[in-house]
Amino acid sequence: MNYEGFLTQVQKSVSDIIGEEGKVSISHVIKNNGVELDGLIIMMKDSNVSPTIYLNSYYDENCTGRPFEGIVENIMEVYNENKDKVTICADFFMNFENIRDKIVYKVINYDQNKKLLQKVPHKMILDLAVVFYCLIEQGELGNATALIYNTHLQTWNIDVDAIYEIAMKNTPKLLQSNIKKMADIIKELFMQEQNISDTESSDIFDKMNSDDISADMFVLTNISRINGAACILYENVLSNFANSIDSDLYILPSSIHEVIIVPKVNNLDKTELCQMVKEVNAEGVADDEILSDHVYVYNRTNHTITL
């Protein structure tokens, strides 16, 4: 069946399972970088909140031979596993005071999100857009979040400048920044994959070439490692780090979740760094997690970020 027929059939099949106890609908969602998904929402009569189960990947599996009945069964398993994990209902967002202290921001690519930006409040900085979301819950498995739309601002009777000011205060507090050496992160991942001790890994890494490119690279993100590229806008984060290594900085947008910082030294060519970022984005970053193909420069004398 074609994609539209698949969506219709999934909705009908799940509706038959739910019966009169709830209502099943399909919601079209615009995600980051123009990625558009269709989500199944099961709203039971005794609840006004539901997880969204995206169906696009299920259709791809169906096209490659996965039986339709198995897909529907899996969808119901996902719903039952997650239905009680959503603890904030839609009415919670009607009162601005409920979420004032939970409003934070992230950065996304401006040009790649023009359709989404028509619907959400934002501020443009360089080639990026600062958008806002509510950090509902934080946990080891990730963060529960809700993007803030223009309709929310209308309900709350506030403007984009007000929410921007609130988010600029909240975000560094709720999602503290973190800078680590790239080599240390590689070491941690290596230890986890190989299940070896810190002493053993140190012996291995001591034998590695000290001229390895990762030696002068640092990763900036937040404590949750989600939407951590926004840390480049935190007050004094870049300034303090640049002063600590006595250098201006190149900022390489690794993804929306983190950036790579490199000291701005003569043997590094910005054009070559840009080409490296483009290649990594094309080959190793999910479409909805790409931030930018540009490399930024932080000047520690005048405290500015430029393209």
**How does pLDDT run across 136-169, given as a tens digit for each residue?**
876 554 567 889 999 999 999 999 999 999 999 9
Q: Could you tell me the two tokens for 285?
A: 């970053």
Check whether residue 206 and residue 295 sit in a common domain.
yes
For 92-125, how does the pLDDT look when each residue is reduced to its tens digit (9 = 90+)? 788 899 899 999 999 999 999 999 999 999 999 9
Residue 58 has pLDDT above 50, yes or no: yes
**Same domain as 272, residue 201:** yes
Domain containing residue 64 = 3-82
Residues 210 and 287 in one domain: yes
Same domain, 181 and 301: yes
Q: How confident is the model at residue 49 (pLDDT cuts 50, 70, 90)?
A: confident
- Summarize the confidence of residues 68-94 as an average pLDDT: 85
Total tally of structural domains belonging to the chain: 3
pLDDT above 80 for 200 = no
The verdict on 67 and 113 lying in the same domain is no
**Closest of 52, 3, 1 to residue 24, by C-alpha:** 52
